[in-house]
Amino acid sequence: MKIFDDIRSSCERSLQAMGINAECYLLPGGVGLKLIGKAHHNLNQLNALPIVECDLSELDSINLNFMDHEKVISLVLPFRTQIPFAELNKFNLKELKASRALSSDFESLTRHELETLEIPGCNLSNLDFCQKFALRKLNLADTQVSDLQPLQNSELEELDLFKTRVNDISSLNCEKMINLVLSGTPIKSISPLSLSKKLRKLEIRGTSVSDLSPLAETEIKELYLPGSEVKSIDSLAYLPIENLNIIGLELRDLSCLSTLPLRSLAISPNLLCREDLEFLENLEIDRLRGPGDNEDQTSLVFFQKYLQNPDSD
């Protein structure tokens, strides 16, 4: 709505007048702020603003005293921040993102009522500190985590385990899971996802997963399989999948694709014969691409490239 755009623009002009380069956006209960650039002065002037969310990701370092600790409930800390998590105890945070943070005092976070926690690349292996949180979103990518038992009572909706050491998700409560990333993990089975009636997006790139049958009763819309050991997608028949990536997979049969409402398909043309390509052409998929192709490539461009040369990659 124009009135909200006007308020946002007015707020950004006020910040510029203070010599502060920042993006401002409206949120329930106040405003969100993203500080742009490395160096900032006069930040104490921001204390009077109703800031409830502050993104400091572009800064090298920061003094947190410029914020009203009672109002701010969401923080994005600078990349590789050295700020001890104990220094956040003056806040009562609902959301925290600290990518590759060098701090390791994760127990200090237990005083918060976190619903979103994103700590990719941190030096972390133990999740015991998470047991008291009512987490809905958790990003543990590139950590040393292997045991998900502390999350058994969490009703997670989004979980990123990319390149963790997790090899079993049976301890997870998957009933409310919407987005799940298991790519690059030693996981072999996705059986617990048979209970994930709300699952919409799953990534299992570079895993030993071969059986997709646990997805047969889900409402999944996006599925990414490159580098997995999947040989058959028959169990996906008639699911509401709109985006599917099967690049690199040598599948026994592609006929299942005709039962899916696909809008985007990524596949390896070099693994297809002419009959396969003609079958795909009849599906009239909007976006169709091979390895290295633009993600928005149309099916028309795809077939101009590959139907003439079915052995090209």
- Helices (H), ranges, the chain: 2-17, 274-283, 299-306
Number of domains in the chain: 3
Assess if residue 113 is contained within a domain.
no
Cα–Cα distance between 82 and 309 in angstroms, integer? 54
- Give tens-digit pLDDT for 90-136: 999 999 999 999 999 999 999 999 999 999 999 999 999 999 999 99
79 and 152 together in one domain: no
134 and 211 together in one domain: yes
Assess if residue 119 is contained within a domain.
no
Q: Are 265 and 249 a contacting pair, CB within 8 Å?
A: no
Assess if residue 248 is contained within a domain.
yes
Percentage of the chain exceeding pLDDT 70: 95
β partners of residue 201 = 179, 222
pLDDT at position 208 over 80: yes
Three-state DSSP at 280 gives: helix
Cα–Cα distance between 254 and 244 in angstroms, integer? 12
141 and 81 together in one domain: no
Question: Is pTM, for the whole model, over 0.95?
Answer: no
Question: Looking at residues 25-31, what average pLDDT do you find?
Answer: 88
According to DSSP, residue 298 is labeled: B
Assess if residue 237 is contained within a domain.
yes
- Give tens-digit pLDDT for 264-281: 999 999 999 999 999 999
Cα–Cα distance between 31 and 50 in angstroms, integer? 6
Kindly state the greatest CA–CA separation across the chain. Answer: 67
Assess if residue 105 is contained within a domain.
no
95-97 and 30-35: which strand pairing? unpaired
152 and 195 together in one domain: yes
pLDDT score, position 310: 53
Nearest by Cα to 256 from 225, 296, 295: 225
The token duo for 19 is 């010599």
pLDDT bin (cut points 50, 70, 90) of residue 174 is: very high
Assess if residue 104 is contained within a domain.
no
The token duo for 245 is 């990536």
pLDDT at position 195 over 70: yes
pLDDT score, position 2: 62
192 and 248 together in one domain: no
The range of the structural domain enclosing residue 279 comes to: 231-313
Domain boundary among 221, 247, 276: 221
pLDDT score, position 313: 45
pLDDT bin (cut points 50, 70, 90) of residue 161 is: very high
Domain boundary among 221, 242, 267: 221
Q: What is the CATH number of the domain that holds 161?
A: 3.80.10.10
* Strand boundaries in 140-295, DSSP class E: 158-160, 179-181, 201-203, 222-224, 243-245, 264-266, 287-289
Domain boundary among 221, 250, 266: 221
Out of 59-63, 75-79, 257-261, 293-297, least confident range: 59-63
132 and 217 together in one domain: yes
48 and 22 together in one domain: yes
131 and 207 together in one domain: yes
211 and 237 together in one domain: no
- Give tens-digit pLDDT for 39-70: 566 777 777 788 999 999 988 878 888 888 89
pLDDT bin (cut points 50, 70, 90) of residue 191 is: very high
Name every residue whose Cβ is closer than 8 Å to that of residue 2 and which is 6 or more positions away in sequence. Answer: none
Question: Looking at residues 2-7, what average pLDDT do you find?
Answer: 66
Please classify residue 70 by burial: count the beta carbons closer than 10 Å to its beta carbon, then call 0-12 exposed, 13-18 middle and 19+ buried: exposed
Mean pLDDT for the chain overall: 93
Name every residue whose Cβ is closer than 8 Å to that of residue 311 and which is 6 or more positions away in sequence. Answer: 270
Assess if residue 108 is contained within a domain.
no
pLDDT at position 15 over 90: no
Question: Looking at residues 154-166, what average pLDDT do you find?
Answer: 98
According to DSSP, residue 88 is labeled: G
85 and 132 together in one domain: no
Cα–Cα distance between 303 and 310 in angstroms, integer? 9
4 and 78 together in one domain: yes
Assess if residue 192 is contained within a domain.
yes
Radius of gyration of the chain (CA): 23
Question: Looking at residues 161-170, what average pLDDT do you find?
Answer: 98
52 and 73 together in one domain: yes
Nearest by Cα to 265 from 237, 249, 285: 285
